Structure 1
Amino acid sequence: MNALYSCISHYHPISSGAWEALSKTLKQVEIPRNSFLIQEGMVCNNLYFLEQGCLRGYYTLDGKEITYWFGFENNFITSFYSFISRKPGIENIQVLEDSTLWSISFDALNKLFDFHQDLERLVRIINEQYYIRLEERLMAKQFKTARERYEQLMETSPHILQRISLGQIASYLGISQETLSRIRSNV
Protein backbone atom coordinates (compact mmCIF):
# COMPACT_ATOMS: atom_id res chain seq x y z
CA MET A 1 0.00 0.00 0.00
CA ASN A 2 3.08 2.24 0.27
CA ALA A 3 3.27 2.42 -3.54
CA LEU A 4 -0.32 3.67 -3.62
CA TYR A 5 0.35 6.36 -1.04
CA SER A 6 3.43 7.49 -2.94
CA CYS A 7 1.49 7.58 -6.22
CA ILE A 8 -1.38 9.53 -4.65
CA SER A 9 1.09 12.07 -3.24
CA HIS A 10 2.45 12.56 -6.74
CA TYR A 11 -1.00 13.50 -8.05
CA HIS A 12 -2.30 15.49 -5.09
CA PRO A 13 -1.47 15.35 -1.39
CA ILE A 14 -4.31 14.25 0.89
CA SER A 15 -4.83 14.68 4.61
CA SER A 16 -3.92 11.94 7.05
CA GLY A 17 -7.63 11.56 7.85
CA ALA A 18 -8.48 11.06 4.19
CA TRP A 19 -5.65 8.52 3.81
CA GLU A 20 -6.81 6.63 6.90
CA ALA A 21 -10.42 6.52 5.65
CA LEU A 22 -9.30 5.48 2.17
CA SER A 23 -6.93 2.77 3.38
CA LYS A 24 -9.68 1.25 5.54
CA THR A 25 -11.93 1.02 2.48
CA LEU A 26 -9.42 -0.43 0.02
CA LYS A 27 -9.32 -4.15 -0.66
CA GLN A 28 -6.25 -5.96 -1.96
CA VAL A 29 -7.01 -8.14 -4.97
CA GLU A 30 -4.71 -10.82 -6.42
CA ILE A 31 -5.61 -11.78 -9.98
CA PRO A 32 -3.86 -14.50 -12.00
CA ARG A 33 -2.53 -14.06 -15.50
CA ASN A 34 -5.05 -14.37 -18.36
CA SER A 35 -8.00 -13.52 -16.09
CA PHE A 36 -10.35 -10.62 -16.77
CA LEU A 37 -10.87 -7.69 -14.47
CA ILE A 38 -13.94 -6.72 -16.48
CA GLN A 39 -15.53 -7.95 -19.68
CA GLU A 40 -17.64 -6.30 -22.35
CA GLY A 41 -21.25 -5.85 -21.27
CA MET A 42 -20.47 -5.58 -17.56
CA VAL A 43 -20.79 -2.49 -15.40
CA CYS A 44 -17.43 -1.68 -13.84
CA ASN A 45 -18.00 -1.16 -10.13
CA ASN A 46 -14.43 -0.57 -8.99
CA LEU A 47 -11.51 1.76 -9.40
CA TYR A 48 -8.18 -0.06 -9.08
CA PHE A 49 -4.60 0.84 -8.36
CA LEU A 50 -2.15 -1.55 -9.99
CA GLU A 51 0.62 -2.26 -7.51
CA GLN A 52 2.24 -5.14 -9.40
CA GLY A 53 1.57 -6.63 -12.82
CA CYS A 54 0.37 -5.69 -16.25
CA LEU A 55 -3.07 -5.35 -17.86
CA ARG A 56 -4.48 -4.33 -21.19
CA GLY A 57 -7.72 -2.75 -22.28
CA TYR A 58 -9.20 -3.89 -25.56
CA TYR A 59 -12.46 -4.12 -27.45
CA THR A 60 -13.55 -6.50 -30.14
CA LEU A 61 -14.47 -5.27 -33.61
CA ASP A 62 -15.56 -7.73 -36.27
CA GLY A 63 -14.03 -10.58 -34.26
CA LYS A 64 -10.67 -8.80 -33.96
CA GLU A 65 -9.18 -7.62 -30.65
CA ILE A 66 -8.18 -3.95 -30.71
CA THR A 67 -5.83 -3.07 -27.85
CA TYR A 68 -6.00 0.57 -26.89
CA TRP A 69 -4.18 0.79 -23.57
CA PHE A 70 -1.77 -1.01 -21.30
CA GLY A 71 -1.57 -0.60 -17.55
CA PHE A 72 1.61 -1.12 -15.57
CA GLU A 73 2.66 -0.63 -11.98
CA ASN A 74 1.45 2.58 -10.32
CA ASN A 75 -1.41 3.10 -12.78
CA PHE A 76 -5.03 3.62 -11.86
CA ILE A 77 -7.19 1.16 -13.78
CA THR A 78 -10.89 1.02 -14.52
CA SER A 79 -13.29 1.05 -17.40
CA PHE A 80 -13.71 4.82 -17.06
CA TYR A 81 -16.81 5.06 -19.22
CA SER A 82 -18.61 2.30 -17.35
CA PHE A 83 -17.34 3.30 -13.89
CA ILE A 84 -18.46 6.91 -14.27
CA SER A 85 -21.67 6.42 -16.30
CA ARG A 86 -22.74 3.26 -14.42
CA LYS A 87 -23.56 1.69 -17.80
CA PRO A 88 -22.26 -1.57 -19.29
CA GLY A 89 -18.87 -1.10 -20.91
CA ILE A 90 -17.68 -2.13 -24.35
CA GLU A 91 -14.17 -2.98 -23.26
CA ASN A 92 -12.38 -5.94 -21.77
CA ILE A 93 -9.62 -5.52 -19.21
CA GLN A 94 -7.33 -8.55 -19.32
CA VAL A 95 -4.65 -9.40 -16.78
CA LEU A 96 -1.43 -10.14 -18.71
CA GLU A 97 0.73 -10.98 -15.68
CA ASP A 98 -0.14 -12.19 -12.19
CA SER A 99 -1.22 -8.90 -10.64
CA THR A 100 -1.77 -7.23 -7.29
CA LEU A 101 -4.30 -4.42 -7.20
CA TRP A 102 -6.02 -2.27 -4.61
CA SER A 103 -9.74 -1.87 -5.20
CA ILE A 104 -12.41 0.59 -4.10
CA SER A 105 -16.04 0.41 -5.13
CA PHE A 106 -17.92 3.25 -6.80
CA ASP A 107 -20.26 3.56 -3.81
CA ALA A 108 -17.49 3.51 -1.20
CA LEU A 109 -15.50 6.11 -3.12
CA ASN A 110 -18.49 8.42 -3.41
CA LYS A 111 -19.20 8.09 0.33
CA LEU A 112 -15.61 9.14 1.02
CA PHE A 113 -16.09 12.18 -1.23
CA ASP A 114 -18.83 13.40 1.12
CA PHE A 115 -16.32 13.68 3.98
CA HIS A 116 -12.98 14.29 2.25
CA GLN A 117 -12.84 16.98 -0.42
CA ASP A 118 -9.16 16.26 -0.99
CA LEU A 119 -10.07 12.74 -2.17
CA GLU A 120 -12.63 14.16 -4.58
CA ARG A 121 -9.99 16.52 -5.94
CA LEU A 122 -7.48 13.66 -6.19
CA VAL A 123 -9.85 11.56 -8.29
CA ARG A 124 -10.67 14.57 -10.48
CA ILE A 125 -6.95 15.04 -11.15
CA ILE A 126 -6.54 11.31 -11.93
CA ASN A 127 -9.46 11.57 -14.39
CA GLU A 128 -7.92 14.66 -15.99
CA GLN A 129 -4.59 12.86 -16.44
CA TYR A 130 -6.41 9.93 -18.02
CA TYR A 131 -8.16 12.30 -20.43
CA ILE A 132 -4.86 13.97 -21.35
CA ARG A 133 -3.24 10.59 -22.14
CA LEU A 134 -6.29 9.63 -24.19
CA GLU A 135 -6.10 12.84 -26.21
CA GLU A 136 -2.35 12.47 -26.72
CA ARG A 137 -2.94 8.96 -28.03
CA LEU A 138 -5.68 10.16 -30.38
CA MET A 139 -3.42 12.92 -31.71
CA ALA A 140 -0.55 10.46 -32.23
CA LYS A 141 -2.81 8.15 -34.24
CA GLN A 142 -3.99 11.07 -36.37
CA PHE A 143 -0.72 12.90 -36.96
CA LYS A 144 2.23 10.56 -36.38
CA THR A 145 3.54 7.83 -38.62
CA ALA A 146 3.63 4.23 -37.44
CA ARG A 147 7.39 4.55 -36.93
CA GLU A 148 6.97 7.72 -34.85
CA ARG A 149 4.31 6.02 -32.70
CA TYR A 150 6.63 3.04 -32.15
CA GLU A 151 9.58 5.30 -31.26
CA GLN A 152 7.41 7.26 -28.83
CA LEU A 153 6.25 4.02 -27.20
CA MET A 154 9.86 2.84 -26.81
CA GLU A 155 10.79 6.20 -25.30
CA THR A 156 7.95 6.24 -22.75
CA SER A 157 7.68 2.48 -22.04
CA PRO A 158 10.89 0.70 -23.06
CA HIS A 159 10.02 -2.30 -20.87
CA ILE A 160 6.98 -3.07 -23.01
CA LEU A 161 8.82 -5.46 -25.35
CA GLN A 162 9.66 -7.74 -22.41
CA ARG A 163 6.10 -7.77 -21.08
CA ILE A 164 3.68 -7.52 -24.00
CA SER A 165 3.30 -9.71 -27.10
CA LEU A 166 4.24 -8.16 -30.45
CA GLY A 167 0.71 -8.79 -31.72
CA GLN A 168 -0.77 -6.74 -28.88
CA ILE A 169 1.81 -3.98 -29.37
CA ALA A 170 1.00 -3.86 -33.09
CA SER A 171 -2.72 -3.64 -32.30
CA TYR A 172 -2.05 -0.81 -29.85
CA LEU A 173 -0.05 1.07 -32.49
CA GLY A 174 -2.77 0.50 -35.10
CA ILE A 175 -0.52 -1.46 -37.45
CA SER A 176 -0.05 -5.05 -38.57
CA GLN A 177 2.47 -7.29 -36.86
CA GLU A 178 4.43 -7.44 -40.15
CA THR A 179 4.70 -3.64 -40.24
CA LEU A 180 5.87 -3.64 -36.64
CA SER A 181 8.55 -6.21 -37.50
CA ARG A 182 9.76 -4.04 -40.41
CA ILE A 183 9.88 -0.94 -38.20
CA ARG A 184 11.79 -2.81 -35.48
CA SER A 185 14.35 -4.15 -37.97
CA ASN A 186 15.07 -0.60 -39.20
CA VAL A 187 15.48 1.04 -35.80
Structure 2
Amino acid sequence: MNALFNCISQYYPISSGAWEALSKASTQIKISKNSFLIQEGMVCNNLYFLEQGCLRGYYNLDGKEITYWFGFENNFITSFYSFISRKPGVENIQILEDSTLWGISYKTLNQLFDFHKDLERLVRIINEQYYIKLEERLMAMQFKSARERYEQLMETSPHILQRISLGQIASFLGISQETLSRIRSQV
Protein backbone atom coordinates (compact mmCIF):
# COMPACT_ATOMS: atom_id res chain seq x y z
CA MET A 1 0.00 0.00 0.00
CA ASN A 2 3.03 2.29 0.50
CA ALA A 3 3.82 2.07 -3.21
CA LEU A 4 0.30 3.26 -4.00
CA PHE A 5 0.62 6.20 -1.61
CA ASN A 6 4.00 7.19 -3.09
CA CYS A 7 2.64 6.95 -6.62
CA ILE A 8 -0.46 8.98 -5.80
CA SER A 9 1.72 11.67 -4.21
CA GLN A 10 3.55 12.08 -7.51
CA TYR A 11 0.28 12.70 -9.36
CA TYR A 12 -1.55 14.90 -6.89
CA PRO A 13 -1.38 15.25 -3.10
CA ILE A 14 -4.57 14.11 -1.42
CA SER A 15 -5.76 14.79 2.10
CA SER A 16 -5.21 12.32 4.92
CA GLY A 17 -8.98 11.77 5.06
CA ALA A 18 -9.09 10.92 1.35
CA TRP A 19 -6.11 8.58 1.73
CA GLU A 20 -7.73 6.82 4.68
CA ALA A 21 -11.01 6.38 2.76
CA LEU A 22 -9.16 5.13 -0.31
CA SER A 23 -7.11 2.70 1.78
CA LYS A 24 -10.21 1.24 3.41
CA ALA A 25 -12.01 0.92 0.07
CA SER A 26 -9.12 -0.74 -1.79
CA THR A 27 -8.64 -4.49 -1.92
CA GLN A 28 -5.34 -6.27 -2.43
CA ILE A 29 -5.41 -8.83 -5.23
CA LYS A 30 -2.73 -11.43 -5.88
CA ILE A 31 -3.01 -13.01 -9.30
CA SER A 32 -0.93 -15.69 -11.00
CA LYS A 33 1.01 -15.52 -14.22
CA ASN A 34 -1.06 -16.22 -17.36
CA SER A 35 -4.33 -15.37 -15.59
CA PHE A 36 -6.65 -12.69 -16.92
CA LEU A 37 -7.65 -9.57 -15.05
CA ILE A 38 -10.21 -8.69 -17.74
CA GLN A 39 -11.41 -10.55 -20.81
CA GLU A 40 -13.17 -9.18 -23.86
CA GLY A 41 -16.93 -9.02 -23.50
CA MET A 42 -16.74 -8.21 -19.76
CA VAL A 43 -17.58 -4.90 -18.15
CA CYS A 44 -14.53 -3.72 -16.22
CA ASN A 45 -15.72 -2.82 -12.74
CA ASN A 46 -12.41 -1.90 -11.12
CA LEU A 47 -9.55 0.53 -11.33
CA TYR A 48 -6.30 -1.16 -10.31
CA PHE A 49 -2.88 -0.10 -9.13
CA LEU A 50 -0.11 -2.53 -10.05
CA GLU A 51 2.17 -2.81 -7.04
CA GLN A 52 4.24 -5.75 -8.28
CA GLY A 53 4.33 -7.64 -11.54
CA CYS A 54 3.73 -7.15 -15.20
CA LEU A 55 0.75 -7.42 -17.54
CA ARG A 56 -0.38 -6.53 -21.02
CA GLY A 57 -3.47 -5.32 -22.79
CA TYR A 58 -4.33 -6.88 -26.12
CA TYR A 59 -7.10 -7.27 -28.67
CA ASN A 60 -7.97 -10.32 -30.74
CA LEU A 61 -8.12 -9.52 -34.44
CA ASP A 62 -8.88 -12.35 -36.85
CA GLY A 63 -7.39 -14.90 -34.44
CA LYS A 64 -4.26 -12.81 -33.86
CA GLU A 65 -3.35 -11.15 -30.56
CA ILE A 66 -2.50 -7.46 -30.96
CA THR A 67 -0.68 -6.15 -27.90
CA TYR A 68 -1.14 -2.44 -27.45
CA TRP A 69 0.17 -1.73 -23.95
CA PHE A 70 2.17 -3.15 -21.09
CA GLY A 71 1.76 -2.39 -17.40
CA PHE A 72 4.55 -2.49 -14.86
CA GLU A 73 4.95 -1.56 -11.22
CA ASN A 74 3.36 1.74 -10.20
CA ASN A 75 0.95 1.85 -13.14
CA PHE A 76 -2.78 2.35 -12.87
CA ILE A 77 -4.56 -0.38 -14.81
CA THR A 78 -8.06 -0.80 -16.16
CA SER A 79 -9.94 -1.27 -19.38
CA PHE A 80 -10.52 2.48 -19.59
CA TYR A 81 -13.21 2.29 -22.26
CA SER A 82 -15.23 -0.28 -20.35
CA PHE A 83 -14.58 1.21 -16.91
CA ILE A 84 -15.72 4.69 -17.95
CA SER A 85 -18.52 3.78 -20.40
CA ARG A 86 -19.82 0.86 -18.28
CA LYS A 87 -20.03 -1.19 -21.51
CA PRO A 88 -18.41 -4.56 -22.28
CA GLY A 89 -14.81 -4.15 -23.32
CA VAL A 90 -13.06 -5.52 -26.37
CA GLU A 91 -9.69 -6.00 -24.76
CA ASN A 92 -8.00 -8.61 -22.63
CA ILE A 93 -5.67 -7.81 -19.75
CA GLN A 94 -3.34 -10.74 -19.17
CA ILE A 95 -1.00 -11.18 -16.22
CA LEU A 96 2.55 -11.86 -17.47
CA GLU A 97 4.19 -12.32 -14.05
CA ASP A 98 2.76 -13.24 -10.67
CA SER A 99 1.34 -9.87 -9.63
CA THR A 100 0.01 -7.88 -6.70
CA LEU A 101 -2.58 -5.20 -7.39
CA TRP A 102 -4.86 -2.94 -5.40
CA GLY A 103 -8.37 -2.58 -6.76
CA ILE A 104 -11.32 -0.29 -6.16
CA SER A 105 -14.73 -0.66 -7.75
CA TYR A 106 -16.30 1.91 -10.04
CA LYS A 107 -19.23 2.32 -7.68
CA THR A 108 -17.09 2.78 -4.57
CA LEU A 109 -14.72 5.17 -6.30
CA ASN A 110 -17.61 7.35 -7.44
CA GLN A 111 -19.04 7.35 -3.93
CA LEU A 112 -15.68 8.54 -2.61
CA PHE A 113 -15.70 11.36 -5.18
CA ASP A 114 -18.78 12.81 -3.48
CA PHE A 115 -16.89 13.24 -0.21
CA HIS A 116 -13.30 13.77 -1.39
CA LYS A 117 -12.94 16.18 -4.30
CA ASP A 118 -9.18 15.70 -4.19
CA LEU A 119 -9.71 12.02 -5.14
CA GLU A 120 -11.85 13.10 -8.08
CA ARG A 121 -9.08 15.44 -9.19
CA LEU A 122 -6.47 12.69 -8.75
CA VAL A 123 -8.39 10.29 -10.98
CA ARG A 124 -8.91 13.03 -13.57
CA ILE A 125 -5.14 13.59 -13.65
CA ILE A 126 -4.53 9.83 -13.98
CA ASN A 127 -6.98 9.74 -16.90
CA GLU A 128 -5.25 12.73 -18.51
CA GLN A 129 -1.87 10.98 -18.23
CA TYR A 130 -3.37 7.86 -19.81
CA TYR A 131 -4.75 9.96 -22.67
CA ILE A 132 -1.35 11.59 -23.26
CA LYS A 133 0.34 8.17 -23.45
CA LEU A 134 -2.37 6.96 -25.82
CA GLU A 135 -1.89 9.93 -28.12
CA GLU A 136 1.90 9.57 -28.04
CA ARG A 137 1.49 5.91 -29.01
CA LEU A 138 -0.87 6.82 -31.86
CA MET A 139 1.57 9.44 -33.17
CA ALA A 140 4.48 7.01 -32.95
CA MET A 141 2.54 4.36 -34.90
CA GLN A 142 1.56 6.91 -37.55
CA PHE A 143 4.76 8.90 -37.94
CA LYS A 144 7.75 6.88 -36.75
CA SER A 145 9.51 4.02 -38.46
CA ALA A 146 9.67 0.59 -36.85
CA ARG A 147 13.28 1.23 -35.88
CA GLU A 148 12.39 4.60 -34.29
CA ARG A 149 9.57 2.98 -32.33
CA TYR A 150 11.95 0.26 -31.08
CA GLU A 151 14.60 2.83 -30.11
CA GLN A 152 12.01 4.90 -28.27
CA LEU A 153 10.80 1.82 -26.41
CA MET A 154 14.37 0.93 -25.40
CA GLU A 155 14.93 4.51 -24.23
CA THR A 156 11.77 4.70 -22.13
CA SER A 157 11.49 1.05 -20.98
CA PRO A 158 14.82 -0.77 -21.36
CA HIS A 159 13.73 -3.42 -18.83
CA ILE A 160 11.07 -4.63 -21.24
CA LEU A 161 13.42 -7.12 -22.94
CA GLN A 162 13.92 -8.97 -19.66
CA ARG A 163 10.22 -9.18 -18.87
CA ILE A 164 8.27 -9.40 -22.12
CA SER A 165 8.47 -11.97 -24.92
CA LEU A 166 9.85 -10.79 -28.26
CA GLY A 167 6.61 -11.79 -29.98
CA GLN A 168 4.60 -9.52 -27.68
CA ILE A 169 7.09 -6.67 -28.11
CA ALA A 170 6.88 -7.05 -31.90
CA SER A 171 3.09 -6.96 -31.72
CA PHE A 172 3.24 -3.84 -29.55
CA LEU A 173 5.52 -2.17 -32.10
CA GLY A 174 3.25 -3.20 -34.98
CA ILE A 175 5.89 -5.31 -36.70
CA SER A 176 6.69 -8.97 -37.26
CA GLN A 177 9.04 -10.82 -34.95
CA GLU A 178 11.45 -11.21 -37.88
CA THR A 179 11.53 -7.43 -38.42
CA LEU A 180 12.15 -6.94 -34.70
CA SER A 181 15.09 -9.38 -34.82
CA ARG A 182 16.52 -7.54 -37.82
CA ILE A 183 16.20 -4.15 -36.09
CA ARG A 184 17.76 -5.50 -32.89
CA SER A 185 20.78 -6.83 -34.82
CA GLN A 186 21.32 -3.36 -36.36
CA VAL A 187 21.04 -1.34 -33.16
TM-score range relative to shorter protein: over 0.9
Give the number of equivalent residue pairs.
187
State how 1:41-120 maps to structure 2 within 5 Å.
41-120=41-120
Q: How big is the shift at 1:45? A: 0.2
Q: Output the amino acid matched with 1:13.
A: P
Q: How big is the shift at 1:90? A: 0.1
Q: How big is the shift at 1:80? A: 0.1
Q: Is residue 122 of structure 2 the alignment partner of residue 122 of structure 1? A: yes
TM-score (structure 2 length as normaliser) = 1.00
- Show structure 2 runs of 5+ residues with no match: none
Aligned sequence identity (%): 87
Structure 1 runs, 4 residues or longer, greater than 2 Å off:
none
Q: How big is the shift at 1:10? A: 0.3
TM-score (structure 1 length as normaliser) = 1.00
Task: Show the counterpart of 2:27.
Answer: 27
CA distance in 2, matches of 1:21, 1:170: 41
Task: Show the counterpart of 1:37.
Answer: 37
State how 1:128-139 maps to structure 2 within 5 Å.
128-139=128-139
CA distance in 2, matches of 1:22, 1:166: 37
Task: Show the counterpart of 2:168.
Answer: 168
- Show structure 1 runs of 5+ residues with no match: none
Deviations along 1:3-49, whole A, 9 cap, x unmatched?
00000000000000000000000000000000000000000000000
RMSD between aligned residues:
0.2
Q: How big is the shift at 1:170? A: 0.1
Deviations along 1:120-167, whole A, 9 cap, x unmatched?
000000000000000000000000000000000000000000000000
CA distance in 1, matches of 2:186, 2:81: 38
Q: Is residue 150 of structure 2 the alignment partner of residue 150 of structure 1? A: yes
Q: Output the amino acid matched with 2:75.
A: N
Deviations along 1:87-116, whole A, 9 cap, x unmatched?
000000000000000000000000000000
CA distance in 2, matches of 1:169, 1:130: 20
Q: Output the amino acid matched with 1:50.
A: L
SS class of match (1:33): coil
